[in-house]
Structure 1
Amino acid sequence: MTVREIEAIWKKMDDCEHADSIRDLYCDLLKRSPYIEEHLRSVGGREALSKFNRIPERLQNLAEECKHRKQQRMRQLRELVASFGVDERFEGNFLGSDAFFESAVSVDPEKKHSRELLRDGYESAKTLFIRDWIARKSKSKEKNLPDAEQATAIGAVHGHIQVIARAGSGKTETIANRAAFLQEHCGVAPDEMLMLAFNNKAAKEIEERLRKVLGHEKTPPSMTFHALAHRLVRPPQGLVTDQGENQSLSREFQNAVDDLMLDDKFKGRVRRLMLAHFKADWDIIIKGGYDLSQEEMLRLRRSLARESVRGEYVKSFGEKAIANFLFEHGIPYLYERNFWWSGHNYRPDFTIQAKNDGQSGIVIEYFGLQGDPDYDDQTARKRRFWRDKPEWVLLEFTPEYLSEDMKAFEARFRSELEDHGIKCERLSEEEIWRLAKQRAIDRFTQAMSGFVGRCRKQWIHPDQLAQKIATHHPISAIERWFLNVACRIYKAYLDRLAATNRNDFDGLMQRAVSCIANGQTNFARAGSEAIDLKALRYIFIDEYQDFSESFYRIVQAIRQINPRAELFCVGDDWQAINRFAGSDLRFFRNFEMYFEPFSKLYISTNYRSTSAIVEVGNQLMHGRGQAAVADTDRQGQVLIADREKFNPTVLEEQRFTRAALTPMLLRLASRALREGKNVLLLNRRKDLFVPDGGRKSIDQYLGIVKNFLPQASRDRIDISTAHGSKGRQADVVIVLDAYERSYPLIHPDWVFSRILGESMEEIEEENRSLFYVALTRAREELIMVTESTRASPFLREILARTQISDVDWINYPPLPSNTRWLVVKVSGSCKVNEQLKAEGHRFRGNTRSWD
């Protein structure tokens, strides 16, 4: 059978038109018969073996011949099309060239050529014109000409256009070049175009790229959908949001819950739900008195022996007295803030920072164990430590200060603080209560705010949610309890916003749609005249895979008052990772249902990553759309670092107790850094567990890693979550957690969103996309850390389709240590071996040596 298949392939090679099908047959044969050469030798197929070995060379020649013939045929078609006068149209009236060509083709008297062939020639001529125009007009020093797919997208100027742009394919450059082409060559004014992006980073990148391409500041406006809504609505107050340290949205939800808890009936419903699914959060509410009235809560807090009014656990009554005074006088403080002292963490009791940079201020220590020699010695060293830091003031207190009555202590404390410029004015009981109510955002609140946020993004109001609940079939009593409680909290949350005349981003989007529908179409643009949505001709939408119901309604509102506005939507469904923010792939998958007339184009060439990395990404997304193509022939490197196969040295075991990840990571990263490359570490979660250090944020963990690396290379290694890495790239990417419980990561609260259309299948697909984003950040080298028995199912799928080598740790030696430890490797002497074994040394079979 194999001999006949080879003969069939060989026979087809007489025609270059069969090049693609021949290559598929050859690859299929290799997969089915991995030992084909041995088989042919065993059956005496010498001629067939010779032909088999020459197939790759003939395929290469065939591909070149096919490419040459295609180029020659396309040249002929372009020459024919040029006879119609399209080149002059491209130069003088590009926007009218499509209509001119269709008219010319329709009146061709001889009908010698099929219309489709002529159209191919026309599109080829258009592509060449655009490439030539960009080469002539580019104001940027980086004259990277668009490829054929990019040029086709730039030249698509009629109808609504969807561009599917794979990772690293230059989508931002394409957007900028298209806008520049429309503005500079087609005469479209900057204020007749609008660039809309998913986030501020993307909007800023587009704006900067436009300036670089155009060479001046007169560019089309570039902003996020939310920024557009903000400029249309112009809300009188700041928005309720969860961004960085600002957690005002979650605070509003938490306050709404606490207010509703004063109703005993509702409190009972919340208690039932939280004990079943959020027990830890319920314990915090009860212990902290968050369900009590103002008077009851403050009385409880002040009666607790080892807990301050603010809610933190303290070590003594003296610390509690200091903490309560600071809190009740509105003085911001940090409890046990970390300072670095001779290689150790030092946490003084209280820190009042004078500036936001945390480099000066007042430190308060309560020395409660005076008389103990060791404690007194430590106290003396702390005094010397602060004496050497003139930017800091040390205030000391001891138990004898508290032997007097509390009023005397508070008077003395007040005097010392005011002597150092700290104003001490006691807050009212209501002000203290409102501050004390602010606890850490718990999982219950996050689940509620997330659920309500998704309702808002889908434009489902509380009464509509109640109707959906009435017909919904929950899979458990807990789901039913959650939905009923959420509906009540949703309404209370909206009531709180209305009472204070505030809004969140979702409400802002809804109001923006109303503004446009009511004829309010002008918005201000910094440094230039106002933009009128009714004057727009082209709307560019970046990261179209993140399009949402709210975005769609804003676009539709614009099209209602301005039907001539046409969309240019660029995105990648393989990188759809923002369902939590309301993104809905139905707009991407069914583009033609929402926007007519439409065209769908592809930008597939990856200019970022080497071919091995591109191939791994394709295998991960196998069967889910058109594959990416690597621009380079360089193979690059993709490796698996299996923790179960890693054998640390004795020194590594001593330095990193029970922690395999850190020594592995240091070996991998240090080699890349020595070679002058930059390294990006990616983790699924915002924190990770370090066996000898507990749970650390990813930034804290990066600090630990950097401490072991040479100072000169520390700025070339960074860390991010997989989500946060979108839009980033690095020479070497190390995925820290290619495990089954990271990719996919299924949150236990997902079931509560079933009523909103959530499903396990969609969650898993989004996790697949997130893994794809992580892998495709790498330019030259990709390393996935995993364990063979706990590998991510996505990684297992990749390995079923392609081969990936394990890290050879011989090529990744340990970091040199500055300790006095010495590793001596001995081999060859049986007596020496016996002695080493008796002394407790360990034999390593992989290197045939002793440590």
Structure 2
Amino acid sequence: MVTRWGPSVLARIFRGVDSWDLQIIDGAVVVEQSGATHRAAVLEVRRPELQHTGWWTTVTLRTASGRVELPGARRSEADQIRKCILREQDLQRAATELQRGAEADLDRVAAWSEQLRQHAERPVWLAHDTLRGLDRARPALDSIDAAAREPRLGPFVGAKIAPVQQQIQNVRSLDLDDWAAARNEQFLAWESQESREFFATVEKTPLTGEQVKATVCFDNRVRVIASAGSGKTSIMVARAAYAARRELAQPAQILMLAFNKRAAEELSERVGARLGDTGSGITASTFHALGLRIIGEATGKKPSVPNDITKDKGIGRLAHVVDRLRDADPAFRRDWDLFRLVFGRPLAAFDEAPDPEAWDRDTAVSGFKTLAGEVVRSQEEVMIANWLFLNGVPYEYERSYEHDTADPQHGQYTPDFYYPQIDAYHEHWAVNAHGQAPPHFAGYAEGMQWKRATHQYYDTTLLETTSASIRNGSGFEHLARELQRLGQDLDEDPFRPIPGEEPITDAELLDLFRTFMVHAKGNQLDPATLDNTAPPGDLRTQLFLRLYATVVQAWNHDLAADRAIDFEDMINQATDHLEAGRWTSPYRLVLVDEMQDTSLARARLVAALTGAPNTYLLAVGDDWQSINRFAGSDLSVMSDFADHFGPAQTVYLTRTFRSPQTVCDIAGRFVTKNPAQLDKQVHASNPGEPTPVRAIAVEDKADYDAALDQWLTDLDNTLETTATVLVLGRYNKTEGPVSQAIGKRRRHLQVRYSTVHKSKGDEADYVVIAGLERRGFPSTIQDDPLLDLAMPGAETHPYAEERRLFYVALTRTRREVLLLTRAGHESPFLLELVGTEQTPVTAADGTDATPVICPRCKINRVVQKTGKYGPFFGCTGFPSCRYTSN
């Protein structure tokens, strides 16, 4: 397109038009006419006027200083002149606007760069919220980038943009997380020196480098994974003092939350003792005390928790509720007794083969014992037998069929059940709803066909049930109809004397329901939600949930009548008030102790307390010591910390001030056999004895006291100064067999007893773990699968929580650990230590008593037994493992 114009040649010849020349150069319109040059910025030129006369056009350009007429232009070129000037004006306006935008962006770049500089120089940790604020304020560079591409703005780019290219590049590509990490490392090093006197004196002993980092790392969310004996309480105290010292939070803005009242009181005492007047303004509280306060201040009415809930966790109150329901509601009473007598014990999955629990010497049947006293082969057959017992139906288990059926392919037929009063047989088929047996039941379908054909051939009555029908309940309804059709009376009597296996007791059932209630209410699962999430076709679950819905309704009704709440509602209601804005938290810094024992409900409360911008959460815990699942704790709160609270820093405390290195190594290897545990190293300043863990095996439980007494006496004689001994047991009752040895006064020893659960946070020079027997520690009371409906998912590793509990027991010691066991009844935990750590086991007289591990199951030990043919060696896991040898 022409960018230089003049009059038409014909116009000059025939009209005598004087020559003129028009150009657009560097944003200006330049006209040379009659020896004069006119120059005006494009933006100063008003819209060109065109006057057409015949073949030619006069172009008039007006500016503030005058006008220029350019006659004789061809029409097409006149149009070009106007279009080019107008287009150039548009481009000039756009460039000007672009420059203004770039200048504004440059101002924002300068401001953002100044923020970076100020944050880098502030004597405080750069927190996540600060970084996200910087990220949100990161200036856009669109105008600057566009200006750099615009040729008309070359001088501007050179003068204004080029000198700050590094700042622009920072805005464009600076990784704030990497930048902050490097800067925070520098700050940590500086602060460690700047405040070294503070860190040396804030606690009784100077903080370690790891403890200093946990104190200085003042991010919005910090998870401190602390080893046993690594000074967790010191971190809580130092963090609070540091926040007040650096004015990151005023004392009244600091909240310390503990798992129980004793821990909260200890925190309060430590803070008061170490921080003086500053500590008096800091709040140390249990979750429940905080919940009561929040509800009271939010509603104007502080609720109360009934004494019977505080005293025995509500078991007595629940018993009263259930007794009242049983008296008033026959349907509830029937369901309760049916569940207790028939459905009380959980079933293994259909395609699983559970380990047998009983052995009948007369019938050589290994399996499961019924209420009537015989041993049957499957859990489902136990349920059928117990249902028959409940309803007063006489039966014989695996009685020989009335006709001789033995042939080269089949032995004598023994149907599962025989009903003598109606002369009928009953086969219970191990098949699912599709008629399929478990894969490991080879030839099962052929066997079913042969048995049915046998009854048809001899014209005998056969009743049938299946695994699927017993599990979904229809099998019992079918069995009741068929028995009554054939003339069998049903006489339901839950109080009939029980000669065989005791059913689940009312006390056990109450404990199950109360535990379920704690978790269901804590996780805000009402009966309708539980029904929707329950697996279909499972009568045990449906029956339990039907009972639970009635129980929890009555429980809540009683609480409302008393104008009271339970602990679960307390936490949930407090969180509701926080989330709805009916209570405003005054706390800027929240410190949580024993985070691994926190429930989902408590985690929700903590998240609500620390959800506002520029609030700070520090949670201290050790997933290796998570031992309170039945109190509602959810290990995922610690292990999946960021999922619950948002992006977080993790700091490790790996140095222990308690146990020697040899104990730490043994205990660490033991607990991490469960791959779900977080991996960490534990370092001790004391190397310890080469064999810090040893065991004594007695012949009988009655020998425990004498063995412990002798060991304590020998230890006392070797000491010249006072030492402490902590005797630990899985249960309170474990103390009984060793109580005399514990109570005996000794010159150098202070001996006391505790359960392992209560010993959390405790320590002693020597630790004795008593009652380390099979079916004792680890506890073989399995978590009922019903609890998984309301609790954190079941852990897949065997004895996962019991393994952590044993770790807690081992790490209470400052010197050595003694394990007390019974020969032939050793705990699988002890057998594991013997196999992996070569833990020595001696008899009470000092002779070697190291157990022989079973070569077949590699879990239990081999001991001498006596059978009807004389002595032999067999696995203690019988009947699950049948290894024997001469």
TM-score (norm 2): 0.54
The alpha-carbon distance between structure 1 residues 627 and 191, as it changes in their structure 2 partners (threshold 3 A), is: same
Unaligned 5+ runs, structure 1: 1-85, 283-439, 522-531, 647-656, 689-697, 813-851
Q: Secondary structure at the match of 1:733?
A: strand
* Equivalent in the alignment of 2:707: 664
The separation in 2 between residues aligned to 1:734 and 1:594, in whole angstroms, is 38
Say if 2:577 is the partner of 1:515: yes
Q: Residue type of the partner of 1:611?
A: Q
The offset of 1:204, in angstroms, is 2.0
Distance 1:786 1:191 in 2: 52
What's the offset of the Cα at 1:278? 6.6
Give the Cα separation in 2 of the matches to 1:804 and 1:266: 53
Structure 1 residues 126, 790: closer, same or farther in 2, change over 3 A? farther
Residues 1:504 and 1:115: Cα distance change in structure 2 (over 3 Å): closer
Aligned counterparts of 2:564 and 2:192: Cα–Cα separation in 1: 50
More deviation in 734-743 or 257-266? 734-743
Partner of 1:553: 604
Alpha-carbon distance, 1:265 to partner: 2.0
Does 1:220 find its partner at 2:286? no
* Paired residue secondary structure (2:765): strand
Which of 767, 772, 783 does residue 802 from structure 2 map onto?
Answer: 767
CA distance in 1, matches of 2:272, 2:546: 52
- Could you tell me which residue of structure 1 aligns to residue 214 of structure 2? 153
Q: Which residue of 2 aligns with 1:490?
A: 552
Q: Find the aligned partners of 2:308 and 2:626 in 1 and give their Cα distance.
A: 22
In structure 2, the partner of 1:93 is 123
The one of 261, 283, 304 aligned to 1:200: 261
Indicate the residue corresponding to 1:777 in structure 2.
Answer: 812
Q: For 1:459, give the aligned amino acid.
A: Q
Question: Aligned-pair distance for 1:810?
Answer: 6.8
Please say if 1:687 is aligned against 2:687: no
Q: Give the distance between the partners of 1:566 and 1:503, measured in 2 at CA.
A: 30
Query: Are 2:320 and 1:266 equivalent residues in the alignment?
Result: no
Aligned to 1:16: none
1:669 counterpart letter in structure 2: L
Q: Which amino acid aligns with 1:447?
A: L
**3-state SS of paired residue (2:752):** strand
Q: Equivalent of 2:626, from 570, 576, 593?
A: 576
Give the whole-Å Cα distance in 1 for the aligned partners of 2:330 and 2:587: 55
Q: Which residue of structure 2 lines up, in the alignment, with residue 384 of structure 1?
A: none
Structure 1 CA distance for aligned equivalents of residues 636 and 529 of structure 2: 22
Quick one: percent identity of the two aligned structures?
A: 25
How far did residue 123 of structure 1 move? 5.3
The structure in which a higher percent of residues are helix is 1
Do 1:738 and 1:784's aligned partners in 2 also have CA atoms closer than 8 Å?
Answer: yes
Moved more, 670-679 or 477-486: 477-486
1:704 to partner: Cα distance: 2.5
Residue 692 of structure 2 aligns to a residue in which SS? strand
Matched residues in 2 for 1:769 and 1:615: separation?
14
2:674 is equivalent to residue 620 of structure 1: no
Partner of residue 505, structure 1: 567
Q: Could you tell me how far apart the structure 2 residues matched to 1:115 and 1:512 are?
A: 37
Q: How far apart are 1:146 and its partner, in Å?
A: 1.9
Q: Which residue of 2 aligns with 1:705?
A: 741
Q: Distance between the aligned counterparts of 1:485 and 1:120, measured in 2?
A: 55
Rounded Cα–Cα distance in structure 2 between residues aligned with 1:629 and 1:683: 25
Structure 1 residues 452 and 88, CA gap change in structure 2 (3 angstroms): closer
SS in 1 for 2:314: helix
Within a 5 Å distance, the mapping from 1:779-794 to structure 2 comes to 779-787=814-822, 789-794=824-829
The answer to whether the Cα contact below 8 Å between 1:94 and 1:186 also exists between their aligned partners in 2 is: no
CA offsets 1:246-280 (integer angstroms, 9 cap, x no match): 2372222112111111222221112222233679x
SS at match of 1:628: coil
Superposed, 1:72-471 pairs within 5 Å as 93-95=123-125, 125-132=186-193, 135-137=196-198, 143-216=204-277, 217-234=279-296, 236=302, 238-240=304-306, 246-247=311-312, 249-262=314-327, 263-276=329-342, 442-469=507-534, 471=535
**Which moved further from structure 2: 122-131 or 631-640?**
122-131
Matching residue's letter, 2:778:
P
The alpha carbon displacement at 1:669 in A equals 2.4
Compared with structure 1, are the counterparts of its residues 210 and 139 closer, same or farther at alpha carbon in structure 2 (3 Å cutoff)? farther
- Decide whether aligned partners of structure 1 residues 148 and 478 sit closer, same or farther in structure 2, where only a CA change above 3 A counts: same
Shift of 1:109: 12
SS at 1:570 equivalent:
strand
Query: Quick one: distance in 2 between partners of 1:141 and 1:228?
Result: 27
> Do 2:775 and 2:827's aligned partners in 1 also have CA atoms closer than 8 Å?
yes
Q: Secondary structure at the match of 1:659?
A: helix
CA distance in 2, matches of 1:96, 1:452: 43
Structure 1 pair 254–137 and aligned structure 2 pair: CA distance change class (3 A): same
Distance 1:196 1:509 in 2: 13
Kindly indicate whether the alpha-carbon contact (under 8 Å) linking 1:95 and 1:186 is maintained by their aligned counterparts in 2: no
Structure-1 separation of matches of 2:222 and 2:669: 28
The residue matched to 2:257 in structure 1 has which SS?
Answer: strand
Distance change in 2, residues 1:733/1:87 (3 Å) = farther
Pairs aligned (count): 529
Q: Which residue of 2 aligns with 1:481?
A: 543
User: Quick check: 1:240–1:248 contact (8 Å CA) kept in 2?
Assistant: no
Partner Cα distance (1:557, 1:626) in 2: 29
Q: Distance in 1 between matches of 2:682 and 2:224?
A: 16
Distance in 1, Cα, partners of 2:532 & 2:177: 53
* Corresponding position of 1:587: 637
Which structure has the highest strand share of the two?
2
Deviation at 1:610, TM superposition (A): 0.8
Question: Corresponding residue for 1:397?
Answer: none
Whether the 8 Å contact between 1:465 and 1:487 is mirrored in structure 2 is no
Structure 1 position 627, deviation (Å) = 3.2
Q: Note if contact 1:241-1:248 (Cα within 8 Å) is conserved in structure 2.
A: no
Residue 483 to residue 184, structure 1, CA distance change in 2 (3 Å): same
Q: Distance in 2 between matches of 1:144 and 1:773?
A: 24
Change (3 A) 1:123 1:94: closer
- Label 1:543 to 1:177 Cα distance change in 2 as closer, same or farther (>3 A): same
1:579–1:122 Cα change, 3 Å: same
With over 3 angstroms needed to count, the CA separation of the structure-2 counterparts of 1:133 and 1:580, relative to structure 1, is farther
The higher radius of gyration belongs to 2
User: What per-residue deviation string (whole Å, max 9, x for no partner) do you get for residues 667-692 of structure 1?
Assistant: 2223344422110011001213xxxx
CA distance in 1, matches of 2:331, 2:782: 27
Residue 642 of structure 1, aligned match among 689, 692, 696: 696
Rounded Cα–Cα distance in structure 1 between residues aligned with 2:816 and 2:321 = 49
> What is residue 615 of structure 2 aligned with on the other side?
565
Provide the rounded CA distance (Å) in 2 between the counterparts of 1:754 and 1:591: 21
Structure 2 distance, partners of 1:800, 1:573, is: 25
CA 612–472 in structure 1, closer or farther in 2 if over 3 Å, else same: farther
Please name the residue that 1:835 is paired with.
Answer: none
Kept in 2: contact 1:702–1:719 (CA 8 A): no
Contact between 1:131 and 1:146, CA under 8 Å: does it hold in 2? Answer: no
Q: Give the Cα–Cα distance (whole angstroms) in 1 for the partners of residues 631 and 755 of structure 2.
A: 17
Paired residue secondary structure (2:280): coil
RMSD over aligned Cα, in angstroms?
A: 4.0
Partner of 2:655: 605
- 504-513 or 195-204, larger mean C-alpha shift: 195-204
**How far does the alpha carbon of each residue in 1:567-607 deviate from its partner, in whole angstroms, 9 at most, with x for none?**
11111110111111111112222222233332122111111
Q: In 2, distance between residues paired with 1:559 and 1:115? A: 23
Q: CA 1:736–1:97 in 2, change beyond 3 Å: closer, same or farther? A: closer
Change (3 A) 1:666 1:90: farther
1:487 is displaced (CA, Å) by: 2.3
For 1:449 and 1:763, locate their aligned partners in 2 and report how far apart those are by CA, in whole Å.
24
